[in-house]
Structure 1
Amino acid sequence: MKISTQFDAGSVVVKDLSNPADIRLALRADHAADFAQWFYFRLQGAAYQNCVMHFENAAEAAYPEGWEGYQACASYDRQNWFRVPTEYENGVLTINHTPLANSIYYAYFEPYSNEQHLNLLGEAQGSGLCQIDDLGSTVQGRDINLLTIGNQVASDLKVWIIARQHPGETMAEWFVEGLLSRLLDPQDSTARALLDRATFYIVPNMNPDGSVLGNLRTNAAGVDLNREWENPTLERSPEVYRVREKMLETGVDLFLDIHGDESIPFIFAAGTEGVPSYDERIAELERQFKAALEAASPDFQDEYGYPKDEPGKADLRLATNWVGERFGCLAYTLEMPFKDNNNLPDDDFGWNGQRSLRLGEAVLSAIWSVSGSLR
């Protein structure tokens, strides 16, 4: 048997591989940081053997409560992913699976590779409706790309959507793929109507370094980008610095920051209730947006989510809070689960890339619903 991780986003520590019934593993911490939860590895040479894989340090994960009710993802071809039996007991996460081929991949969630990211950019540009701009470089010199879709006239609404500040939250880029597919469809009436009214600024991957390195939460400097928005620097967080700079140039009327949550098995949104400028206008926009998204996608709900910040107590280092306060606009963090959506569970696939993609398509209906009220 052999376990390997020498590919895009690969990550695991192998402690003992001598017995397929007792494979001892450990979660590897983020590059230059202590966060650990993401794993992605290839197992070879174990066809038709019952493989029991123990992550012995699972209790030390960034979000150990995320293991409760969690099932790991597996694939033979890295295109079709399914869930496999997984248990968390006494601080150890155990995957119990018999592979039906000599090569199989296991991951924390369905990956979204750098090749897919580059293909997504190419396909968007190929539509003839999208302009790609380079905002600068990451800590390790990768591109920070912005997709601009729309007429780019002063009267347009400015809709900003960013994803994967936390690189292990790959469902966020699947979401963007779905949103782009619909937005760039000339036969889609909602997309056409929106592009008559708004220009979209989309960053499909805020954290290219962390994505390639196999990090859960941080960039190559070990920085959580979603704690940098109040005072980003080119040394620590060039990704936030450059995107924020562009926002200040264009303005923002609606902002969505797309994420995944390790623990909560629902799709939900977190708003800006705690920022100093929050008022009834924003509260009404939030209600309108959430009602429209619930109507567009039964996957979305508003019963379960994060506790709301008390007035004036919001952390302005977070993207949604900083943008909402700086531009006085509707701003939301949209969260999807690493587990399954308990409202519409799927035993075979759980929450996955395709379901994230469909939610991305549906969110355009919610944006259209509020577009007439954003100014």
Structure 2
Amino acid sequence: MRINANFDSGNIDVIKADSADDIRLAIRKDHQSDFYQWFHFKLFGEAGEEHVMTIENAAGAAYPDGWKGYQALASYDRETWFRVPTDYDGKHLTIRHTPEQESVFYAYFIPYSYERHQDLIQSAQQSVDCYHELLGETLDGRELNLLVIGEPAAHKNTIWVTARQHPGETMAEWFMEGFIARLLDDEDGVARKLLEQNVFYVVPNMNPDGSARGHLRTNAVGTNLNREWAEPSLEQSPEVFYVLKRMQETGVDMFLDVHGDEALPYNFVAGCEGIPSYDKRHEDLEDTFKAALLAATPEFQTQYGYERDEPGKANMTVANSAVGERFKCLSYTLEMPFKDNADLPDEDFGWSTARCQRLGEDVLTAMLAVSPKLR
């Protein structure tokens, strides 16, 4: 029996692996950080034998409430991922699985590799409606990629969409696959109408270093990018520095920052109601977007989510608040679950890549509804 995490986004330490019924593991912390919760590893063992894998440091994870009701993911071919029995006793997370084949991968959520990210960028670049910009390099020397979709023009709105500031929230880049594919479909009426009215600036992965390193929440030097939007620096947060610099050049009429939430089993949005300049116009834009997304898909809801900020009490280091205030624009964080959508549960797969992609497609319908009001 062997357990290995020496690959793209791999994360696990083996404490003990002498017998299949008592495997002891620990999740590694993000580099130079106390954050951890993302795991991704490969087990090579006996098919047909139950393996009991206990993550001993689960209680100290960034969001221990995220383990409650959570089911880990497994895959034989790294394409189809399914849920396996998982229990949390308040201290340890225990995964029980009887593999049908000799080797199997396990992960906190379906991984989105750096190779797949590069495929996504190069595929999008093939469209005549898409221009690929290199914003700069990360601290580990990886590219920070921007896709400009649509032809910039003075009469058009500027819409920015970013994903994966927190690298372990891989559902955000799966969302981007659906979003980009539909937006570049020249036979899709919604996409064509959107590109008549708007130009899109899309960053599918804000944190490629953390993604490859197997981090939950931070970049190569332990910086939480979604707390850097007030004063980003090239030394600690070049990813935010380069994106914000480009935003200042283009302006922003709408901003959507895509994330995943460890604890809440729902899809929801968080607005910027706590920023100093929030007013009735902001509220109307938010309501228009939410109503259109509710009509577009039952995967979205507005009952559950984060508590609204009190007026003037927003955290201005967070992306949606910082951008909403700086550009006086509609600015949302969109959250998806690590677990499942409790309103439409799927016992076998939970919240899945296909559902992420479809939500990405449906968000474009909501953007079309709000587009005429953005200026």
Aligned to 1:24: 24
Q: Does 1:214 align with 2:217?
A: no
What code does the residue aligned with 2:164 have? R
CA contact (8 A) 2:129 2:151 kept: no
The offset of 1:352, in angstroms, is 1.4
Unaligned runs of 5+ in 1: none
- Residue identity opposite 2:304 in structure 1: Y
The one-letter code sitting in structure 1 at the alignment partner of 2:345 is P
Aligned-pair CA distance for 1:151 = 1.0
Alpha-carbon separation, structure 2, partners of 1:296 and 1:95: 36
- The CA distance in 2 between the partners of 1:357 and 1:150, in whole Å, is 21
Determine helix, strand or coil for the equivalent of 1:152: coil
Structural mapping, 1:320-331, within 5 Å: 320-331=320-331
Partner of 2:151: 151
* Cα shift readout 1:140-198 (whole Å, capped 9, x = no counterpart): 11101100011111221000000000000000000010000100001000000000110
Match of 1:201 in 2: 201
The one-letter amino acid paired with 1:62 is A
CA distance in 2, matches of 1:297, 1:109: 22
- The answer to whether the aligner puts 1:181 opposite 2:181 as a matched pair is yes
- 2:250 is the alignment partner of 1:250: yes
2:53–2:95 CA contact under 8 A, matched in 1: yes
What one-letter code is carried by the residue in structure 1 that aligns with 2:8?
D
CA displacement at 1:127 relative to structure 2: 1.8
- Deviation of 1:249 after TM superposition, in Å, equals 0.3
> What secondary structure does 2:199 align onto?
strand
After TM superposition, the runs of 4+ consecutive aligned structure 1 residues lying more than 3 A away are none
- Partner of 1:345 in structure 2? 345
Is residue 2:265 matched to residue 1:292?
no
State the partner residue of 2:335: 335
Separation of aligned partners in 2, 1:153 and 1:247: 15
Q: Which amino acid aligns with 2:234?
A: L
Aligned match of 1:110: 110
Partners of 1:255 and 1:75 lie apart in 2 by: 34
Q: Using the alignment, how far apart are the partners of 1:64 and 1:335 within structure 2?
A: 18
Once the two structures are superposed, residues 253-292 of structure 1 have per-residue CA deviations (whole angstroms, 9 ceiling, x without a partner) of: 0100000000000000000010000000110110110010
- TM-superposition CA deviations, 1:61-103 (whole Å, max 9, x none): 0000000000000000100000000000141100000000001
TM-score in terms of structure 1 length: 0.99
Query: Relative to 1, partners in 2 of residues 1:194 and 1:90: Cα closer, same or farther, differing over 3 Å?
Result: closer
Q: Which residue of 1 aligns with 2:356?
A: 356
Matched, 1:82 2:82: yes
Is 1:267 aligned to 2:267, yes or no? yes
Look up the SS of the partner of 2:21 in the other structure: helix
Secondary structure of the corresponding residue to residue 193 of structure 2: helix
The answer for the alignment partner of 1:61 in structure 2 is 61
Shift of 1:367: 0.1
| Matched position secondary structure for 2:95 | strand
1:46 Cα deviation from its structure 2 partner: 2.5
| CA–CA distance in structure 1, aligned partners of residues 106 and 7 of structure 2 | 13
Report the residue type matching 1:6 in the other structure: N
Rounded to whole Å, the distance in 1 between the matches of 2:45 and 2:314 is 51
Question: AA paired with 2:317?
Answer: R
State the Cα distance separating 1:33 from its structure 2 match: 0.9
Q: Secondary structure at the match of 1:359?
A: helix
Please state how far the C-alpha of 1:116 moved relative to its aligned partner: 0.6
SS class of match (2:30) = coil
Amino acid at match of 1:276: P
Q: How far apart, CA to CA, are the structure 2 residues paired with 1:192 and 1:250?
A: 21
Contact 2:26–2:55 at 8 Å: present in 1 too?
yes
Q: Give the letter for the 1:199 counterpart.
A: V
Give the letter for the 1:162 counterpart.
T
The Cα shift of 1:354 comes to 1.1
Q: Give the superposition deviation at 1:128.
A: 2.0
Is 1:311–2:290 an aligned residue pair? no
Distance 2:298 2:165 in 1: 26
**Secondary structure of 1:365's aligned partner:** helix
SS of residue in 2 equivalent to 1:293:
helix
Secondary structure in structure 2 of the residue aligned to 1:266: coil
Provide the rounded CA distance (Å) in 2 between the counterparts of 1:237 and 1:171. Answer: 22
Aligned mates of 1:374, 1:362 — CA distance in 2: 19
- Aligned letter for 1:91? K
SS at match of 1:316: coil
Following superposition, the deviation at residue 47 of structure 1 comes to 1.2
1:342 and 1:132 map into 2 onto residues whose CA distance is 37
1:367 lines up with 2:367 in the alignment: yes
Distance 2:236 2:28 in 1: 22
